[in-house]
Amino acid sequence: EIVAAVEAFFAGTDRPLAGRRALVTSGPTYEPIDPVRYIANRSSGKQGHAIAAALARLGAHVTLVSGPTREPTPPGVTLVPIETAVEMLAACRAALPADVAVCAAAVADWRVAEAAGQKVKKTGGAPPTLSLIENPDILATLSAAGPDRPRLVVGFAAETENVVAHATEKRRRKGCDWILANDVAPETGTFGGDANTIHLIDAAGVEHWPTSTKLAVAERLARRIDAYFGEGKA
């Protein structure tokens, strides 16, 4: 009975993204300071993993490039585990061409200029100063014109203030097609939590989604991606 249900599911007609290739990034990146210490972003990977799962359920061939998370790899999704932003960019490039890229990872903007090969010792003197250098911008790189640009590039903007204004500016700066903006101020409980309030920003303006679970956000996004390709086919 279960086998039959699974077979029916995978053979089902509701797989409109069959034949489409999707690239999804998820989780944090870890940027090493030395072999023991690192800088990270708070990201549970729940939203990115849920998007990968939703796209796979609609039939897409999904590559999920993810930093360290507690989330299980969704069924039918190919996981490429990475730690740093530099590794994530290389894995994303290797996953191209793709029809759609969804950048849900919380990529560290900066890494330590020179990670130490040995553990940095407390010397009793002044604490070290960490010199940071900018990481590659994965969303902007994927959005840059070129033969390999996915037809639809979707980014996230985690903001703590002026959410829509910051995200609208981010969309313009990055060159992506859609930005899903959310408010991650500590009092919202978005980080590590299950709920998310999304504002979708595209060329046409802003669409406010009702607060819902990260699973429902993923499902809605996957359906909207499907609709986008459906319109394009017409």
Among 11, 129, 203, 233, binds a second copy (CB under 8 A): 129
Look up tokens 């999804």; give the residue.
24
Q: Give the nearer residue to a second copy in terms of CB position, either 161 or 231.
A: 161
- 102 DSSP 8-state letter: E
Amino acid at 32: P
User: C-alpha distances in angstroms, 17 versus 54, 102, 208?
Assistant: 11, 15, 25
Q: Give the nearer residue to a second copy in terms of CB position, either 43 or 63.
A: 43
Q: Give the nearer residue to a second copy in terms of CB position, either 13 or 129.
A: 129
Q: Give the nearer residue to a second copy in terms of CB position, either 63 or 190.
A: 190
Site size toward a second copy (CB under 8 A) is 32
Span interacting with a second copy, options 10-18, 94-102, 125-133, 217-225, rule CB under 8 A: 125-133
Burial call 47-82: b when 16+ CB within 10 Å, e when fewer = bbbbbbbbbbbbbbbbbbbbbbbebeebeebebbeb
Among 133, 203, 204, 234, binds a second copy (CB under 8 A): 133
What angle is formed at CA 147 by the lines to CA 141 and CA 153, rounded to 5 degrees?
A: 45
Site membership for a second copy, residue 205 (CB under 8 A) = no
Among 19, 128, 189, 232, binds a second copy (CB under 8 A): 128
Least distance between a second copy and beta carbon 143 (Å):
16
Among 70, 93, 172, 208, binds a second copy (CB under 8 A): 70
Indicate if 135 belongs to the active site: no
Site membership for a second copy, residue 33 (CB under 8 A) = yes
The pair phi, psi for residue 10, each rounded to 5°, is -75, -25
Among 4, 72, 114, 131, binds a second copy (CB under 8 A): 131
Measure CA of the first residue to CA of the last residue in the chain; give whole Å: 38
Can you spell out the DSSP letters for 172-202? HHHT-SEEEEEE--GGG--TTSSEE-EEEEE
The pair phi, psi for residue 137, each rounded to 5°, is -95, 105
Among 71, 159, 177, 219, binds a second copy (CB under 8 A): 159
Which residues contribute to the site for a second copy (CB under 8 A)?
33, 35-42, 70, 106, 108-110, 118-119, 122, 127-134, 158-161, 184-186
